[in-house]
Amino acid sequence: MAITFYSYPKCGTCRKAKKWLDEEGTSYEEIHLVEAPPSKNELEKMYKNSGLDIKKFFNTSGMKYRDLGLKDRLPAMSDEEKLELLATDGMLIKRPLTTDGKTVTVGFKEPEFEQHWKV
């Protein structure tokens, strides 16, 4: 299974997730989330495959999220608009974002990684 691991090197949660993947011997392609964020189409596919609410894809604790006032703006936006917004700035995306094309995990929770990414 080819895993794509979108991360931000300065993110402590991303470093924990990467360490977990490395310790488990899980191979992955790491992509810098800010320098090369997923496209709107890629995000839409991940969103649909994840079964999660689209809000789970937003880094709600990030400064960019607060600066843009998204807490108040998101409820009035369509999913299409939310996906477009996410694709414009990797700092808006909750990280790490991990996928194999079918399964998607957002953030790092060890039990989820155990379930989905253990070799």
- The count of domains in the chain is 1
Instruction: From residue 44, give the alpha-carbon distance in Å to each of 34, 38, 40, 58, 83.
Output: 18, 10, 6, 13, 7
Q: Which amino acid is at 88?
A: T
User: Each residue of 14-60: pLDDT tens digit?
Assistant: 999 999 999 999 999 999 999 999 999 999 999 999 999 999 999 99
Closest CA to 8 of 34, 29, 28: 34
* Residue range(s) defining the domain that contains residue 60: 4-117
CATH number at residue 17: 3.40.30.10
Query: Are the beta carbons of 26 and 119 closer than 8 angstroms?
Result: yes
> For the segment 74-112, what is each residue's pLDDT rounded down to a tens digit?
999 999 999 999 999 999 999 999 999 999 999 999 999
- What the block records as the tokens of 67 is 């600066």
